[in-house]
Structures are given as structure tokens and as C-alpha cells.
Structure 1
Amino acid sequence: MPRFCGKTVIITGSSNGIGRSAALLFAQEGANVTITGRNSDRLEETKQLLLKSGVPEKNINSVVADVTTSSGQDQLINTTLAKFGKIDILINNAGASIPDVTGATGIDQGIDIYQKTLQLNLQSVIEMTKKVKPHLIETKGEIVNISSIAGGSHAQPDFIYYSCAKSALDQFTRSSAIDLIKYGIRVNSVSPGVVATGFIGAAGLDNEAAKKFYKHMAAHKECIPAGVAGKPEDIANIILFLADRKISSYIIGQSIVADGGSTLMMAMQFGDAM
């Protein structure tokens, strides 16, 4: 029997990248999935990918919604309950580094960029967690948040507001894990490094620049010791591991770093000096 047979999963930000891969894996493992995103065309691509892989349409709830709005959050939850009757797993995946249209970088970015970045990467996670809590209490469910190595202890001046949001998300994961485990709800997270998704494009780079970025990172082992950018399915498999209580039941409030070794190389580089 598929390991998530009979389970219902909400995956925010599942119209592309890591969220799309997670939706595919969950559905192939028997789960009912609510997929969502703001772009209807990309969301339909995700749905068609699931259908072509053999997932029955009755197991898919596709919702075009903005997870940063209260109405969008309610739509996700209410349509999931209406179609599947319960919620077992929440994957808080929606997130992005939002570029300043003026071209400003670092702390020169507008405060509106800071507010939008935190609203997407942190506040929406908190709000979804609060709203789904009573339903996860009923099912003794799971929450997996998608953070980033940008939230770690190393400076990230190119992604200053994004790194602030992810650092705060890591603390929310730890604190909410302790708060919710008394109800039987587990909370954990994944912190990806460089993964070949639409993230770089969303941060303001065009397709050619994004390809150049990934090629550069993969070619420089001082950036990624593994010598290759991660794939969305690499992260999706970790998400499923954390959502599977049969094999990860004793993991609570942790963030699994999946970065090809990047964070191990973020200390001082001596190069030819040694």
C-alpha cells in the first residue's frame, strides 16, 4: 500500500519547483493533494503532470489562490475540507526573494519589499499554521516548512530581507514544534541550498542569467562541493520523509539542510595561502 494512502496534504506554492515535485510524489504515494499557486497556467501544468503520471483526478484539488491573503488561505482550507473531509499534512512551501523594481539592493531596498517578503515567507506560514491547527489536532498531523540556508548564521547581503524572513521562520519552526507537539502535531522544516527552480527568476534574473548562475555555482566546488545544483525532487523527497511519521516520528522542530555541502564552505577560504 502506498505510504500516504488516505492522507490529505495541502502544499502551498505548488505551481512549480519544489512544491510541484512534492505534490507529484505525495500523489504518487496515494495522498489526496491540494495544489495551489497564483498563476493559473502553471498550476494547470502541475495538475496535468499529476494526471499524466496516473494520479486520479478525484485525488487532486487545484486552487488558484494567493496564500498571503486571508481569503486565499480560507479558500485552500475550505475547499480541501469540502473535497477530502480532513487535513493530515501542511507543507508551507510558498516563498520567494522579491526584487525591488527600482534596482536597489541590500538595505537600500524599499520597506515595501521588506513587508512583502515577510508576508510571503513568514506571515503566511504563521497564518496557515494557526488556521490548520484544529484540523491537524483531529488527525495528529504533520507540518513541514520550507526554509533556506539563507536563514543561517552567515551574512546574506544580496538577499537581506529574504534571509531575515527565513531566519525568523526557523525560529517559528522550533517554537511552534514545542507548542504543537502536545496536541500530537509534529513540525519540522527543510533548508535547501541552490536548487534549480524558478527562484532565481523570481528574484529578478532573466532565463539566460539564471542559467549562467546555476552553471557558475555548479562549476565552483567552493560554492557547492557536490558540484551540481540540487533538483526539486531532492528536496521533495526530504519533505516526504519528514511528513511520514512511520519513519521520522522522533524528529521534532528540526531543519534538515540539503545544500550539496554549501554551508560547510561558507567559512573563511584560504585557497593558495595554505
Structure 2
Amino acid sequence: MGRFSGKTVIITGSSNGIGRSAALLFAKDGANVTITGRNADRLEETRQLLLKSGVSEKNINSVVADVTTSEGQNQLVNTTLKKFGKLNILVNNAGAAITDGSGVTGTDQNIDVYHKTLQLNLQAVIEMTQKAKPHLIESKGEIVNVSSIVAGPQAQPGAIYYAIAKAALDQYTRSTAIDLIQYGIRVNSVSPGIVATGFIGAMGMPDDMARKFYDFYPSHKECIPARVSGQPEDIANVIVFLADRKLSSYIIGQSIVADGGSTLVMGMQAHDIMDILKP
């Protein structure tokens, strides 16, 4: 019997990266998991990974959906309840730094990029929380949000809208934690630093540029003192810890930073990412 046996988890953005690793950890520890993403092929890769690890098909609910839409959100909640009958844990992991198609950065980015960035990184979390709330009240459940060290307090001129969204998400985590603990629901978050996932590729950068990105920062101790990029499972382990009522019961409304020491030195601010990525 795993520690999450009999519990049901929704993990947004679980077709790759941190979400995929979290789904694997939860499922291997006995949970029913709803995995989801917009890319059907990558989501199927996650499902196959779960199956190959010994997770039963009956414990997996795979849903191709866009979490930024009301239809997608409803589909996630409704199919989860239909298959598993309850919801115990919501992991709001889906997120991305959306780039301006014209290549503009900083204050000149199109306002449409702002709206899309906040819709994915903040509004979708708010809406999923609202829709999951009655079911989490019933189960005295947990919510784990995935934020980022870009939330501050250091400036992020190269990713202004993404930083705004994550800073707002941190405040949303704190505020909902106090609002929902009266119902027995715990809310916390994790703030990753540099993690080697498909995050850079999702920004539209080719593989060679992504490699430059993930090779540069660990090679500079003023950026990552640990001298390594994080791996998805490093963050997934924190998510699982925060979702475990026995291990983290007295943690309410907090964000655990997992960044290899980056926020202790923040040398990343001294480097221009566009210079790093130049051919």
C-alpha cells in the first residue's frame, strides 16, 4: 500500500517535464492520477511511462485538454470524478514563459503576450482552484501550485510578464491558503530555479539554443552554486512532499524554493539571456 493509495490527483501540464515526473511519483505511490496536456503524443508518452512502471490502466485518467479554457477545466474535473469518484489533490503545474512572436522583449512586448501569459500561469490556476474547491472540501485535500524564482524580488527584464504572473501566483497561494484552511484544505507551492525540461523549447527555441541555455548557467557558480541544472524529479519530489498530509501537515501557504542556491547569489541577473543564446 502506497502512501497515496485511495487518493486521486489532478496534475495539469503533465505531458512532460515536472508534471510528468510528479504523475509518476504519485502513481507509483498508489494514487489515481489524471494526467493532461494539449499535445496528445506527449501525453501518451506519459501514459506509457506510467504503464511501464507498473501502474494499472484503471489508475490513470488521460485527458487531452487546454487548461486555459473553461471546457478543458470542466473536462479535467468531471472525468476525474466520473472515473475515480473523488478528488484529493490538485497540482497546478501548467505554465510557460510565452514569447513575443516578433522577437521583442522587455517593456515593448505586445500586450497580447501579457494576456496569454497571465491566462495560463495565473487565471487557469484560479479557475481550477474554484472548480476543484467543493471536491477538495469534501476530501480535506491539498493544492500544490508550481511557481518560479522569477517571482522576485529580483527584476526580470527579459521575462516581465512571466515574472508578474508568478509573483501574482505566489500571493494567490498565500491568500487562498488562509481562505481554504478553514475547510481543511492546505495550499502551498514550489518555486523552481533552472530545471532541464522542455520549458525552453516551449518558448520556441530550437534544441541547440536550449542546450546552450542549460549548459551556460550550471557552468557559472554565480548563477547556480550547485553547478547543476535541476531535473524534473527534483521539483516533483517537493510537490509530493507538500501533498503528503502526514509529512507536511503544518506547512500552510508557503513556497519552497528549489533552485540549487540560485536565489542566494542571483548572478543570473548579470547575464543577458539573448547573448547566451546567440549562434
Q: Which amino acid aligns with 1:153?
A: P
| 8 Å CA contact retained: 2:222, 2:268 | no
Equivalent runs, 1:125-204 vs 2, <5 Å: 125-204=125-204
TM-score by length of 2: 0.95
Residues in 1 aligned to 2:106 and 2:133: alpha-carbon distance in whole angstroms: 36
Residues in 1 aligned to 2:247 and 2:216: alpha-carbon distance in whole angstroms: 36
Q: Which residue of 2 aligns with 1:7?
A: 7
Aligned length: 270
Q: Secondary structure at the match of 2:117?
A: helix
User: For structure 1, which segment, 172-181 or 211-220, has the greater mean C-alpha deviation from structure 2 after superposition?
Assistant: 211-220
Deviation at 1:269, TM superposition (A): 9.9
Deviation at 1:218, TM superposition (A): 1.0
Are 1:210 and 2:229 matched, yes or no?
Answer: no
| 8 Å CA contact retained: 1:189, 1:256 | yes
Q: Which residue of 2 aligns with 1:82?
A: 82
Q: Which amino acid aligns with 1:161?
A: Y
Residues in 1 aligned to 2:84 and 2:24: alpha-carbon distance in whole angstroms: 18
Q: Which amino acid aligns with 1:246?
A: K
Deviation at 1:162, TM superposition (A): 0.2
TM-score by length of 1: 0.97
Q: Which amino acid aligns with 2:7?
A: K
Deviation at 1:152, TM superposition (A): 1.5
Residues in 2 aligned to 1:46 and 1:183: alpha-carbon distance in whole angstroms: 33
Residues in 1 aligned to 2:140 and 2:196: alpha-carbon distance in whole angstroms: 33
Q: Secondary structure at the match of 2:102?
A: coil
Deviation at 1:267, TM superposition (A): 7.1
Q: Which residue of 2 aligns with 1:113?
A: 113
Q: Secondary structure at the match of 1:62?
A: strand
Are 1:248 and 2:248 matched, yes or no?
Answer: yes
- Structure 1 residues 269 and 239: CA distance shift in structure 2, 3 A: closer
Q: Which amino acid aligns with 1:187?
A: V
Q: Which residue of 2 aligns with 1:32?
A: 32
Residues in 1 aligned to 2:203 and 2:257: alpha-carbon distance in whole angstroms: 22
Q: Which amino acid aligns with 1:204?
A: G
Q: Which residue of 1 aligns with 2:276?
A: none
Q: Secondary structure at the match of 2:116?
A: helix
Percent identity of equivalent pairs: 77
Q: Which blocks of at least 5 consecutive residues in structure 2 are unaligned?
A: 271-279
- Structure 1 residues 222 and 267: CA distance shift in structure 2, 3 A: closer
Residues in 2 aligned to 1:158 and 1:269: alpha-carbon distance in whole angstroms: 10
Q: Which amino acid aligns with 2:242?
A: L
- Structure 1 residues 139 and 267: CA distance shift in structure 2, 3 A: same
Q: Cα deviations across residues 170-212 of structure 1 (Å, max 9, x unaligned)?
A: 0000000000000000000000000000111112321100001
Q: Which residue of 2 aligns with 1:238?
A: 238
Deviation at 1:145, TM superposition (A): 0.1
Residues in 2 aligned to 1:152 and 1:161: alpha-carbon distance in whole angstroms: 12
Residues in 1 aligned to 2:114 and 2:212: alpha-carbon distance in whole angstroms: 27
Are 1:124 and 2:124 matched, yes or no?
Answer: yes
Q: Secondary structure at the match of 1:3?
A: coil
